[in-house]
Amino acid sequence: MGRLTVISTHFWLALASFVAVFPIIWVLSTSLKQKEDVYQTVRIEMIPAHPNFSNYREVLTMNNGIFLRWFRNSAVVAGATAILGVLLAASAAYAFSRFSFFGKKPLIFFFLLTQMFPGVVLLVPLYFILQRMGLLGSFPGLIVAYCTVSLPFGVWMLKGYFDTIPKSLDEAGIVDGLSIFGVFWRIVVPLSLPGISVTAFFAFLTAWNEYMFALAFMTGEENYLLPVGMAAAFGDQYQTFWHLMAAGSIITTIPVLLVFVLAQRYLISGLTQGGVKQ
């Protein structure tokens, strides 16, 4: 590879990285500015002239700490969605990977088909289903709704990962006296932690960032999740308080960033191995 090719490759990689990171830097910069500095039009400052954390204090203390309540609501819903989504997806994916049954191929492609529809199409039927079940306006109902969105991806992801695990390990476990569930729980699951981590992270991220279902299915300010609460508190039909929105966005990003850093090794290996069938 010639020197010019290497320089060109690194230039485009650096440019792509800058384009990806620039919005985050801009939000962080805005969160450290005073309100009047955000709306001034004479010049735009990337680095705040007088950086301070007053926006963060205002966000965390507003309305008797309502932001922290929204944070807790989102954490509970996203965590429960990740756990329930992984349990359901892993069970279904193991069945698709290991067993033959009537309608197997049409059913697995049906999971893929559901990913082709926008979420707004599911809004009305999910609303009436949750209403009939008595779960409308409750966190369990919202968790079920989020699982319907994250489950198809989880099943496809884990099926591809389970396919890479030799069936001879299952047979060896059965010979040693394990049941089908024992083989799944004690052999397949430990070997599939990278794929399970990716599925859990996706389900968590889906519930953490989702706005439409949380707005339609939950009522009452104290039951808001972070996206809905921030949209309601940091703006109205006439204006948006960007300095507060930026501070709230940075706080909201921290848990996802921590989860990614802690599970980075599993996430990378899960993404690279889950889509390859050996």
**Quick one: three-class SS letters along 101-139?**
CCCHHHHHHHHHHHCCCCHHHHHHHHHHHHHHHCCCCCH
Specify the higher pLDDT residue, 266 or 207. 207
Mean pLDDT of 18-25: 90
Structural domains for the chain = 1-52 (no CATH), 62-274 (1.10.3720.10)
pLDDT for 234:
87
Is residue 259 very low, low, confident or very high in pLDDT (cuts 50, 70, 90)? confident
* pLDDT at 272 exceeding the cut of 60: no
pLDDT for 194:
84
* pLDDT at 267 exceeding the cut of 70: no
Q: Tally Cβ neighbours within 10 Å of residue 24.
A: 12
Q: Could you tell me how far CA 105 lies from the centroid of its own chain?
A: 28
The model carries a pTM of: 0.85
Name the amino acid, one letter, at 203: A
pLDDT for 113:
81
240 strand-pairing partners: 235
What is the distance between the alpha carbons of residues 175 and 271, in angstroms, rounded to a whole number?
Answer: 32
* pLDDT at 42 exceeding the cut of 60: no
Q: In this structure, what is the dihedral angle of CA atoms 186, 192, 198, 204, given to the nearest 10 degrees?
A: -10
Mean pLDDT, the chain, rounded, equals: 86
Mean pLDDT of 127-151: 92
What is the distance between the alpha carbons of residues 134 and 104, in angstroms, rounded to a whole number?
Answer: 32
Mean pLDDT of 253-261: 85
pLDDT for 112:
79
What is the distance between the alpha carbons of residues 174 and 25, in angstroms, rounded to a whole number?
Answer: 54
pLDDT digits (tens, 9 = 90+) for 50-101: 788 989 999 999 888 899 999 999 999 999 999 999 999 999 999 999 998 8
What is the distance between the alpha carbons of residues 255 and 221, in angstroms, rounded to a whole number?
Answer: 22
pLDDT for 220:
87
Mean pLDDT of 16-39: 87
Specify the higher pLDDT residue, 33 or 139. 139
pLDDT digits (tens, 9 = 90+) for 146-159: 998 889 889 988 99
Q: Is 32 exposed, middle or buried (0-12, 13-18, 19+ CB in 10 A)?
A: buried
pLDDT for 2:
72
Specify the higher pLDDT residue, 128 or 277. 128
235 strand-pairing partners: 240
In the chain, pLDDT over 70 holds for what percent of residues?
A: 92
